[in-house]
Amino acid sequence: MKQLFFAFSLTLIIQATSGQDRIMKIDSLLTDMHANNTLNGNILIAEKGNVIYKKSFGFANEATKQKLNENSIFELASCSKQFTAMAIMMLKEKGKLNLEDPISKFIPELANYKNITVRNLLNHTSGLPDYMELMDSLYDKSKIATNKDIIVLFNQVKPKVLFDPNVKYEYSNTGYAFLASIIEKASGQTYGDFLKSHIFKPLKMTNSFVYTRRFAPKKIDNYAFGYIYSDSLKKYELPDSLTETSMVIWLDGIVGDGCVNSTVNDLLKWDRALYSNQLISNEGMNELFQVATLNDKSKTNYGFGWGIEENPDFGKITSHSGGWPGYVTYIDRHISNDKTIIILQNHENVSIPVKSIRNILYNKPLPQKKIRTEIKLPIEQLKSYVGIYEIVKDIELKIMLDNGQLFTQLTGQKAFPIFAENELLFFLKVVDAQLQFEKNDKNEIEKVYLLQNGNKTMAKRVQK
């Protein structure tokens, strides 16, 4: 869930003369998005460390109408993983751990997973099942869970791995939660204190910290609260008040896979440090940004806390997205050309215009929206797709039929119409995404796959 959301990539086309400045184009794009309620947050863009664009759009607090500013503090969601990975590498260079150490060396309760190493956790090749799904069915939600609660549950239930270590890549929040516990065991400090003393303080990231707002509340000035738009109430609400996003309360004490909070200004300091050896050696930095090699010698597209891309137009890019009810974040670092895009948003029904910003920065045409041909299907056939499709526990994709039109809705988001390309393939018009349905042996719809931004996410039908 900390990664999963409709990561909207708008295909707005700005008609501009050839002499129009890139900054004007970017500002026009983002201002238009904000006016259309598809952007609410802070954007910072830098080249060689020099800020060329920085602007705030919208409110930090919907109740008081406090506006966002450049020092507003956002929950980073899965963009937190890069800090967890750096902490592990720092401990490695201090001789406190090795990447090939079994995780049970630091967490004896996980002895059942003796073949899984620290490295497997870092690059998502562990095969560990999702802790959120497990806790949704087995955990007492009247208590706010911590990392220790995940460990206790895995020790008690001993859920089977999804695959043997290093056989395949599968994104895992579980792995990064366990990494936070390993950091604490190896360093003798809490996860938050280690990041503060070894990363945030040395880099003068004065507005960055680990924060669990419900588990350990405190007053934070200039905090950007995360909101979800409630269709029933017709207004933006904190996810705490909505049943479908109640996990923000009972999962709030878990760190490592999320819960780092920061600002666009602090994240630029972090970006600059990653071009130096201020935190770890040059060898360590190279390993951090090296993709994993699986047992069959194939390569993944993930290093340690970063997605890695060799882009034919933009060179080597390291990036990461984050999504958690109320927050959508993205950090895009163009290593070959030293360009940085930082996007922190505190509304969930928003877009991530990274592709458009990239193209403007490199003076390339904005990405064109793919032209898809819609076909009409009989109403009885449309009814056959209706149902609830489960991605993981508490995260569902609903398919609904209203007045002859099919709609899809992801947990915590608005419903959007979908249109048939053929009998099993549908598309959205508000975003470049498709839904691919799959039938079973009885010729009944059994699964649906969300296809977007090169990713394929499966949801299994659990209710018609």
Tens of pLDDT, residue by residue over 274-333, are 999 999 999 999 999 999 999 999 999 999 999 999 999 999 999 999 999 999 999 999
CATH second-level architecture of 1-369? Answer: 3-Layer(aba) Sandwich (3.40)
Q: In sequence order, which ranges of 289-384 are alpha helices (DSSP H)?
A: 354-361, 379-383
251-258: average pLDDT? 96
Q: Where, residue-wise, is CATH 3.40.710.10 in the chain?
A: 1-369
Entry pTM: 0.81
Token look-up 């071009």 returns 275
For residues 34-55, give the mean pLDDT. 95
Per-residue pLDDT, averaged over 238-261, amounts to: 93
Range name among 131-135, 331-335, 339-343 with the lowest pLDDT average = 131-135
Structure tokens at 63: 């109740």
| Architecture of domain 379-463 in this structure | Beta Barrel (2.40)
Between 254 and 10, the more confident residue is 254
Q: What residue spans in the chain does CATH classification 2.40.128.50 cover? A: 379-463
Point out which residues pair with 452 in neighbouring strands: 433, 455
Known active-site residue 298: no
Out of 9, 72, 78, 384, the active site residue is: 78
pLDDT value at position 367? 67
Q: What is the pLDDT of residue 5?
A: 40
DSSP-assigned beta bridge partners for residue 399: 387, 408
